[in-house]
């Protein structure tokens, strides 16, 4: 069994990005600048944003962290977005989700200018991706595509099952894997909470992408012999034996399936680091747009 080590690959790509940024700096060019907006005190969001800022520092990007209280109004947050849209020095920015319940996430997302949408969530970028045009691709799906490419996982003609239909992972994953590209050219089935005979669908998969948000839902009896597993899930599971009182688990029962599959991403250390490095790649790309 091959472990698809996203942490190690992300570090390699960061070194490649740093070399490119160093060359830009020596040539007197513009250093990529990523901004992040963090609303409230959600612990997971704080960790994610901190990791993104640290990654910017590692590759030599400029980064700006904009903190706002959970009590911010919709109008105030929209004003922050408009300021970032208008700032010529900021190449791309993200508004960290989830937002507090009184805020309209869809309206905030729609307010982000497509050319600064390095998370790849706005309708313009999603539409261009769907048509196979140049676009900022959603960070997690793009990170998975890079992972598959760098590890030489063949996708052409393969049966792929994607568990989960979110706009952030599941739906764009089906588009990227089915279009004419490498990786790509796969036959893709999208499964979700209303899918009948879910286990039977999974057993047909040469490649299974699990992004359904249920801890260790996928077990060995649901997996084809020799399948490739991409586990997008990251869930907190209570565990009294751990100092923190919990452990991190994916959507796949790693210990149960590892003897049956040919390759698998670990949790943590698989898809997560690739998501962040994909954001870096989009930001570098944005910095080159005239």
Q: What are the residue boundaries of the structural domains of the chain, listed by start?
A: 28-113, 139-271
CA 264 to chain CA centroid, Å, is 17
Read off φ and ψ for residue 36, nearest 5 degrees. Answer: -130, 135
Q: What percent of the chain has pLDDT over 90?
A: 89
Fold of the domain built from segment(s) 139-271: Rossmann fold (3.40.50)
For the stretch 65-120, pLDDT in tens is 999 999 999 999 999 999 999 999 999 999 999 999 999 999 999 999 999 999 99
Instruction: Please give the pLDDT value at position 237.
Output: 85
Active site residues: 52, 96, 119
Degrees to nearest 5, angle at CA 179 with 175 and 182 = 115
Q: Which residue(s) pair with 39 in the sheet?
A: 68
Whole-structure pTM value: 0.94
**pLDDT-derived band at 183, boundaries 50, 70, 90:** very high
Q: What is the pLDDT of residue 43?
A: 82
**Average pLDDT score over residue span 245-259:** 93
Average pLDDT of every residue of the chain: 95
Whether residue 234 is annotated as binding a ligand: the answer is: yes
Helices 170-178 and 123-130 cross at an angle (nearest 10°) of: 30
Residue 176 pLDDT exceeds 90: yes
Q: How far is CA 93 from the centre of its chain?
A: 15
Q: Do domains 28-113 and 139-271 have the same CATH topology?
A: yes
pLDDT of residue 238: 84
94 annotated to a ligand binding site: no
181 labeled part of a ligand binding site = no
Tell me: pLDDT of 244 over 90: no
Predicted local confidence at residue 47, as pLDDT = 86
Banded pLDDT at 42 (limits 50, 70, 90): confident
Tell me: is residue 166 an annotated ligand-binding position: yes
Under CATH, what is the fold of the domain 28-113?
A: Rossmann fold (3.40.50)
């Amino acid at each position: 069994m091959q472990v698809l080590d996203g942490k190690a690959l992300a570090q390699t790509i960061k070194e490649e990005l740093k070399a490119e940024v160093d060359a830009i700096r020596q040539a007197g060019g513009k250093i990529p600048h990523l901004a992040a907006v963090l609303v409230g005190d959600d612990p997971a969001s704080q960790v994610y944003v901190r990791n993104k800022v640290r990654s910017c520092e590692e590759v030599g990007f400029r980064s700006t962290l904009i903190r706002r209280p959970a009590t911010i109004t919709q109008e105030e947050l929209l004003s922050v977005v408009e300021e970032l849209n208008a700032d010529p020095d900021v190449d791309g920015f993200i508004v960290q989700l989830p937002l507090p319940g009184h805020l309209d996430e869809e309206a905030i997302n729609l307010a982000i200018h497509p050319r600064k949408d390095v998370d790849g969530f706005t309708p313009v970028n999603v539409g261009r991706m769907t048509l196979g045009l140049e676009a900022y691709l959603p960070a997690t799906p793009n990170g998975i595509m890079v992972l598959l490419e760098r590890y030489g996982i063949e996708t052409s003609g393969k049966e792929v099952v994607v568990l989960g239909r979110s706009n952030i992972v599941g739906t764009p994953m089906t588009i990227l894997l089915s279009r004419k590209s490498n990786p790509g050219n796969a036959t893709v089935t999208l499964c979700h909470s209303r899918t009948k005979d879910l286990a039977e669908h999974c057993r047909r998969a040469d490649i299974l992408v699990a992004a359904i948000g249920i801890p260790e839902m996928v077990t060995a009896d649901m997996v084809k012999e020799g399948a490739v597993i991409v586990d997008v899930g990251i869930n907190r599971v209570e565990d009294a034996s751990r100092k923190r009182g919990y452990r991190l688990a994916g959507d796949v029962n790693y210990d149960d399936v590892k003897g049956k599959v040919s390759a698998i991403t670990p949790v943590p250390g698989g898809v997560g680091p690739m998501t962040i490095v994909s954001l870096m790649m989009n930001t570098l790309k944005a910095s080159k747009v005239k």
